[in-house]
A and B are shown apart, each in its own frame.
Chain A
Amino acid sequence: MSKKTTEAAVAHRGYNVENPRKSWLLTIVMGLMLIYTYLPLLWLFISSTKTQGDLFSTFGLWFGHDFALWDNIREALTYNDGQFVRWFLNTLMYVVLGAGGSVLLSVLAGYGLAKFDFPGKNAVFAIVIGAVAVPGTALAVPTFLMFAKLGLTNTPWSVIIPSLISPFGLYLMWQFTRDAVPTELLEAARIDGASEFRTFRQVALPLLGPGIVTVSLFAIVATWNNYFLPLIMLKDASWYPLTIGLNAWNAQAATAGGQAIFNLVITASLLTIIPLIAAFLGLQRFWQAGLASGGVKE
């Protein structure tokens, strides 16, 4: 290709490895991927501005006769005595307790694995890594039966307790701690007489910021999007998270005598994804730094 010669020709104009010449061709090719990414989201947004009638009768990628977004939002929030708001609050609770607890456990255990040598350490590695390969659903049925025996099914605990463990979070945190916390620093604190926990809290923890943000985001996504576990554990709709609630609304149309509320399913879907997308955009500087500084590297 002539690309090489062109590059040589422009080299003296200030282009280099750090700042190569931009390529329109590559941008356009990648633009196709962008269209693929945004198409369903665009459809979702446009559809949530439509009345149920317009949904069926107008073209999917353009607005309908009425702009019903605000009506749809109002109706979604108040339908069935504000069921959606209840599910939203449930999801928040599962995220705070489940994802929050999982981050706490991952940070502690990641630090323990990265900075200590203790009897049984290799066994911990082997067991956790081995368990990652066990499909989550292989665990679902026995977990359900176990929890049923303990009287935990149909309570929030049945969703929160399994969310506390994230082997991936542990792995990320262990890698991150190993690279971000110098052992000499810990030794210094110990020599100064600090207890192990104080050393962790005051010396190591401040260095772990980007790693913690990264692990938190992955834990929040996993809990917010959790579907399978609450599906089998919860019967009572008042404990549902958003995901199960949405599917219940959708399935309602197929049941005998059930009211089809597709406009609400669509608008509620939009409301479900907005908080996560906002979190990703707002925190991207931190989590991208966390990933880049050793998170996923082998």
Chain B
Amino acid sequence: MSAIPVAASTPSAAPPKQAPARRPRRRWTGWGFVGPFMLVFAFVFLAPILYSIYLSLFQKRMVGGNQFVGLDNYTQLLADPQFWEAFRRVALFLVVQVPIMLTLSLLAALAIDSLKLYGTAFFRISIFMPYAVPAVVAALMWGFMYGNRFGLVGSLSDFLGVSIPDPLGANMILVSIGNIVTWEFVGYNMLIFYSSLKTIPHSLYEAAAIDGASEWRIITAIKIPALRGALGIATIFSIIGSFQLFNEPSILQSLAPNAITTYYTPNYYAYNLSFAGQQYNYSATVAIVMGLITMAVAYFVQLRGNREN
């Protein structure tokens, strides 16, 4: 790297064994660099969180205006069948879609890292490409392809002479959304795994090969354990993503109006509560509860990951 000549020209200033100099001194200078980020962060993250907690404790009444109601919104939510239906849906999505997506990503990363593919670089960039496609475009493309008007699924049904269930019907729509999300994020997760695999020194593989380890053994004994951290990060991002599911159902809504309800996912529910129903207080409560559940699940997964380490 370009650092080498500079470092070489100042050997007297940085003698190799000067341990105290390596540790940064504890001063306020660091705030000069971190300060601007934290200032904006406080404005767009912390203030809204506090404000939404405040909102969730009030209710707008016909008489008396805004009234403090304590935890009433929360007790209402716990007994709200629409919320729980939405929650069960994203939970189901989480346990089915995320493992499929992460397994595909892992296999792709291992295949690309193995250097056994013809055209490795082409595979790497191609599979990552959908990540650059906006969720709006991805949902529109797949939505049109699913559709019966100029869709491919209809053509395929005609061609094969079988009736494939309507991907935009109420029974299939969650699977169809799962496919869109998988398409969008397989490459992104593959890249996380791949860059983690790249940090393994290749001498380890050589040593293992000399000891007679098979390809499979190298994968299970060296590569997979080295991926633990990346797997943890990818899993937590995917959990957050599943619980936040919004873009795809909201865009598909116009193509599948009968299959996607106003409370299809918790987020979509919160959105409709505030922007179609003006129920800001209750909507804030939905958002907070989903935030708490997400944090709890993410924390639990991380804890388990650490314990298995």
Q: Give the B-binding residues of A (Cβ under 8 A).
A: 3-4, 16-24, 26-27, 29-30, 33-34, 36-38, 40-41, 43-44, 47, 55-56, 59-61, 105-106, 108-109, 111-113, 115-121, 124, 127-128, 130-146, 161-162, 164-165, 170, 180, 182-185, 187-188, 191-192, 196-197, 200, 203, 206-207, 221, 224-225, 227-228, 231-232, 242-244, 246-247, 250-251, 253-254, 262, 265-266, 269, 272-273, 276-277, 279-281, 284, 288, 291-292, 294-298
28 residue pairs from A and B, CB less than 8 Å apart: A4-B214, A18-B115, A24-B118, A26-B114, A30-B112, A30-B117, A37-B130, A40-B183, A47-B150, A109-B33, A109-B34, A109-B38, A121-B30, A124-B34, A141-B52, A142-B49, A142-B55, A145-B51, A180-B1, A184-B13, A191-B13, A203-B6, A225-B134, A243-B137, A246-B137, A247-B140, A254-B257, A269-B141
A251 to B144 alpha-carbon distance, docked (Å): 13
**In the complex, what residues of B have CB within 8 A of residue A185's CB?**
3, 6-7, 10, 14
Partner of A26, one of B117, B152, B232, B288: B117
Q: A124 and B240 in contact (CB under 8 A), knowing A60-B155, A135-B267?
A: no
CB-CB under 8 A from A294, the residues of chain B are 199
Question: Are B140 and A269 touching (Cβ within 8 A)?
Answer: yes
Q: Tell whether B283 is near chain A: CB-to-CB under 8 Å.
A: yes
Which residues of chain B (122-159) have a CB below 8 Å from chain A? 123-138, 140-142, 144-145, 149-152, 155
Q: For B47, what are the chain A residues with a Cβ–Cβ distance below 8 Å? A: 146
Collect the chain A residues with CB atoms within 8 Å of residue B230's CB.
Answer: 296-298
- When distances are taken between beta carbons in the complex, the residues of chain A under 8 Å from B214 are 4
Q: In the complex the two chains form, is A137's CB within 8 Å of B270's CB? A: yes
Residues in B whose Cβ lies below 8 Å from that of A128: 41
- Cα(A266)–Cα(B147), bound, Å: 14
With A17-B202, A118-B29, A118-B30 as known contacts, state yes or no: A37 contacts B118, CB within 8 Å: no
Residues in A whose Cβ lies below 8 Å from that of B191: 291
Which residues does chain A contribute within 8 Å of B1, judged by CB atoms? 180, 207
Measured in the bound complex, the distance between the Cα atoms of B14 and A288 in whole Å is: 31
How far apart sit A207 and B142, CA to CA, in the bound complex (Å)?
Answer: 42
Interface residues of B in 221-268 (CB under 8 A from A): 228-230, 232-233, 236, 240, 243-244, 246-247, 250-251, 254, 257, 267
Question: Could you give, for residues 160-195 of chain B, a 1 whenever the CB lies within 8 Å of some chain A CB and a 0 otherwise?
Answer: 000000000000000000000001001100011001
A75–B192 Cα gap in the complex (Å)?
40
- Could you tell me the distance between the alpha carbons of A165 and B46 in the complex, rounded to whole angstroms? 12
- B233 pairs with A124, CB closer than 8 A: no
Size category of the binding interface on chain B: 35 or more
Decide if A292 touches B140 in the complex (CB within 8 Å). Answer: no
Contact flag A187-B36 (CB < 8 Å), given A43-B141, A60-B155? no
| Contact between B126 and A232, CB atoms less than 8 A apart | no
For A113, list chain B residues within 8 Å (CB): 30, 34
Task: Determine whether the beta carbon of B13 is less than 8 Å from that of A3.
Answer: no
The reply to whether A138 and B33 contact each other, CB–CB distance below 8 Å, is no
Is B87 part of the contact surface with A, judged by Cβ < 8 Å? no
Contacts of B100-131 to chain A: CB distance below 8 A: 104, 108, 111-112, 114-119, 123-131
Min Cβ gap B49→A in Å is: 6
The reply to whether B49 and A139 contact each other, CB–CB distance below 8 Å, is yes
Whether the Cβ atoms of A34 and B126 lie closer than 8 Å is: yes
Whether the Cβ atoms of B137 and A23 lie closer than 8 Å is no
B195 near A188 (CB under 8 angstroms)?
no
B114→A20 contact, CB < 8 A: yes
A105 and B233 contact, CB distance less than 8 A: no
Q: Is the CB of A135 within 8 A of B129?
A: no
CB distance B7 to A182 under 8 Å?
yes
Give the residue of B21, B34, B134, B199 whose beta carbon is less than 8 angstroms from that of A292: B199
Give every chain B residue within 8 A of A203 (Cβ-Cβ). 6
Q: CA separation between A293 and B29, bound complex, in Å? A: 27
- Would A247 and B116 count as touching, CB distance under 8 A? no
| Beta-carbon contact of B209 and A297 below 8 Å | no
Q: How far is the CA of A20 from the CA of B33 in the complex (A)?
A: 46
B251 to chain A: closest residue by CB:
A247
Q: In whole angstroms, what is the CA distance A140 to B133 when docked?
A: 23
Specify which of A188, A254, A262, A280 is in contact with B14 (CB 8 Å cutoff): A188
14 other contacts beyond A30-B108, A117-B25, with CB at 8 A cut-off? A4-B214, A18-B115, A26-B111, A40-B138, A47-B144, A105-B37, A108-B34, A135-B290, A141-B271, A144-B274, A232-B271, A243-B134, A279-B132, A298-B230
